Amino acid sequence: MTGRCYYDRMDFWSYVATIPEPRIIVLQDVDHMPGVGAFVGEIHATIALALKCIGYVTNGAVRDLPAVKALGFNLFSGSVSVSHAYAHLVEFGEPVEIGGLKIVPGDLLHGDRHGVQTIPAEVVSEIPQEAQRIMSSERELIEFCKSPQFSLKGLSEKLGQASKDCL
């Protein structure tokens, strides 16, 4: 471990710059108690944005949430911590596991406030059409539930059709 603080590791930032855009930093906190200290806060997010990163995924902690949100940088973490504690990079460019999800460099990730998942490369071209189909089906079900035509029999029929659509 060298340097004054963990974000002065130019070898790490140089590696991040080699990741295909849009870049997402994925970091596994390997401490015996992940999340004691936060690796990413406002400074780290600002550097990452300058390198065209769009987000950060970790089983550890993050901090400076209002400032990071104002930057428009996306965070998914196991917890929030007030301090970076004694954080140090051990290695990078290796497979990690975050919340049971195995992630290898180059994986395509999708995340929102509910979680993160990998997307197999072979289905990427099908995503827009499938997303549209799902949103349309959900919108139809929601509209039916709000309508004066709602009934348990109608709900059963709609859910039956939705179940067939899932196959």
pLDDT by residue (tens digit) across 19-69? 989 999 999 999 888 998 898 999 999 999 999 999 999 999 999 999 999
The answer for residues whose C-beta is within 8 angstroms of residue 71's C-beta and 6 or more apart is: 42, 45, 46, 49
Residue 98: per-residue pLDDT = 93
Residue among 68, 65, 9, 60 at smallest CA distance from 33: 60
pTM, entire model: 0.81
Residue 48: per-residue pLDDT = 96
Region 96-125 average pLDDT: 92
Return the number of other C-beta atoms located less than 10 Å from residue 44's C-beta: 24
Higher pLDDT: 120 or 160? It is 120
Region 63-80 average pLDDT: 96
Residue 3: per-residue pLDDT = 56
Distance, CA of 165 to CA of 167 (rounded, Å): 6
Strand order in the sheet with 53-58: 23-27, 53-58, 74-76
Angle between helices 127-146 and 152-165 (to 10 degrees): 170
